[in-house]
Structure 1
Amino acid sequence: MLVLALDTATPAVTAGIVEVAPDRADATATLAVRVTRDARKHGELLMPEALAACAEAGVALADIDAVVVGTGPGPFTGLRVGMVTAAALGDALDVPVHGVCSLDAIAAEALDAGGPLLVVTDARRREVYWAAYSGGVQITGPHVEAPAALVARIPELGAVAAAGACAAGTGLRVVAPEAPGPAGLVACAVDALRAGVRPGPLEPLYLRRPDAVAPGPRKPVGTG
């Protein structure tokens, strides 16, 4: 099974091809990885990166059996690019599209933390997105709050290491990766992929309202 993995929840625009063996629970192989870091060009870069990943893996887009996409948390505009692209590809290719938490994907690829792990990414507005994991399982999150508030929680969480682009701000030992990768994205959906589960609608994890708001009614113009 060939899986196209996409993520635009962080400044990293990620696309890759992962092969999933249907008969071995531990058998996956990353055939191609394309990552470009530019928070302002998700829309311009994602589809070219997906096509480049296919070319690098030696497969055609029509050969893809499923799509996995990060559903955040992430800024509204960037996150929407990845999810809309994934949904459009799924519709065009008639393949399932599985959404996974982007923080879970980072945790899935994180080096052995030796204990509970925090995954922390940039939420802008002087805030971070974060979730905590133990044994690879999410135990709380995802949340969005100020870095100082997260640091104050660390003793109760018992975290010993952190991953993600904002990991250094926790004061914990930092482990890779900084952003979701194809292997981690697919790892979060591999059981459903192998079982042939038809996923439900994609649900974005914005965690807060978008900056853009609908304009209010026009004020009446005085005639006096």
Structure 2
Amino acid sequence: MTELCIDTSGATAVSIVRDGQVIGASRNESGRHHAESITPCVLEALEDAGLPADASHAGLDAVCVGTGPAPFTGLRAGLVSARVFAKAAGIPVYGVCSLDAIARLALDHLSPDTHVYALTDARRKELYWGHFVAEGPDDVRLIGQLEVGFARALGGALREQSGLLVSDAPIPSHSADVLAGAEMGPVLPLDPAVMVRIVRARLARGEEERLGTEPLYLRRPDIHGQAPERM
């Protein structure tokens, strides 16, 4: 099995995974130019993997894409691109919450019974976060629901149920002081390849309904109506 993995919840990150091993990767750290960077990153990752530049002839079996939560424009660009690549190649596309991937990657370095709060920068001086525990060696389970809000709300959640803060980047400066007393776990750049493990674990359990590609905005986009809630 060979999968193309794309995440645009923060940076533009692309991986090519074959039989569980990353064989090609590319990354653009800009958090604001996803539409311009996705295709070059995919082409670079395919070249790095020694595959044809035309994704429809690269022997791909599936596309995995991060569904956020993230700001509207960058997330939409990643999801649309993933669907286009999948349609061109005639292969399925599976969505994975980007916070699920961050939590799973962190739990690979922690005790399997650890509670983690995966967080990312939501801009507007806010954070996205979710409370997770491991669900087997390759997946995670969300406790409660995904949240967006100010750091003090996350601090309140931590007082109710302790856990490690984990992220794909240092805590944003607008929230660092509020969360200064919280216990930090690993800070690891999001590797979209971890989505393959999550997808395979959910498919093996017959949970394809957890792999939809609906975007997780969590709050009202600037120019659109009410954002869809996570299923």
Distance across 2 between alignment mates of 1:184 and 1:141: 21
Q: Kindly provide the amino acid, as one letter, of the partner of residue 17 in structure 2.
A: V
Q: Which secondary structure does the structure 2 equivalent of 1:182 belong to?
A: coil
2:155 corresponds, among 151, 158, 162, to 151
Distance across 2 between alignment mates of 1:18 and 1:173: 29
CA drift at 1:183:
2.2
Q: Which residue of 2 aligns with 1:186?
A: 196
Distance across 1 between alignment mates of 2:39 and 2:97: 21
1:94 aligns with 2:90: yes
Q: 1:201 to 1:101 in 2, by over 3 A?
A: closer
1:177 aligns with 2:173: no
* 8 A contact 1:117–1:163 mirrored in 2: no
* 8 A contact 2:164–2:185 mirrored in 1: no
Distance across 2 between alignment mates of 1:126 and 1:93: 40
Q: Which residue of 1 aligns with 2:121?
A: 122
TM-score, normalised to structure 2, is 0.80
Once structures 1 and 2 are overlaid, which stretch shifts more, 100-109 or 189-198? 189-198
1:72 aligns with 2:72: no
Q: 1:152 to 1:196 in 2, by over 3 A?
A: closer
CA drift at 1:195:
8.5
State the Cα deviation string for residues 181-208 of structure 1 (Å, max 9, x = none). Answer: 1222212212356799977752110111
Distance across 1 between alignment mates of 2:201 and 2:160: 31
Task: Specify every segment of 5 or more residues in structure 1 that has no aligned partner in the other structure, as ranges.
Answer: 21-27, 215-224
Question: Which structure 2 residues correspond to residues 1-224 of structure 1 after superposition, within 5 A?
Answer: 1-10=1-10, 12-20=11-19, 28-60=20-52, 61=55, 62=57, 63-110=59-106, 111-114=108-111, 115-135=114-134, 136-165=140-169, 167=171, 169=176, 170=179, 171-178=182-189, 180-191=190-201, 202-213=213-224
Distance across 2 between alignment mates of 1:166 and 1:149: 18
Q: Which secondary structure does the structure 2 equivalent of 1:175 belong to?
A: strand
Q: Which secondary structure does the structure 2 equivalent of 1:208 belong to?
A: coil
Distance across 2 between alignment mates of 1:197 and 1:207: 22
CA drift at 1:45:
0.6
Distance across 2 between alignment mates of 1:89 and 1:148: 40
Q: Which secondary structure does the structure 1 equivalent of 2:28 belong to?
A: strand
Once structures 1 and 2 are overlaid, which stretch shifts more, 192-201 or 87-96? 192-201
* 8 A contact 2:34–2:74 mirrored in 1: yes
TM-score, normalised to structure 1, is 0.83
Q: Percent identity?
A: 36
* 8 A contact 1:121–1:129 mirrored in 2: yes
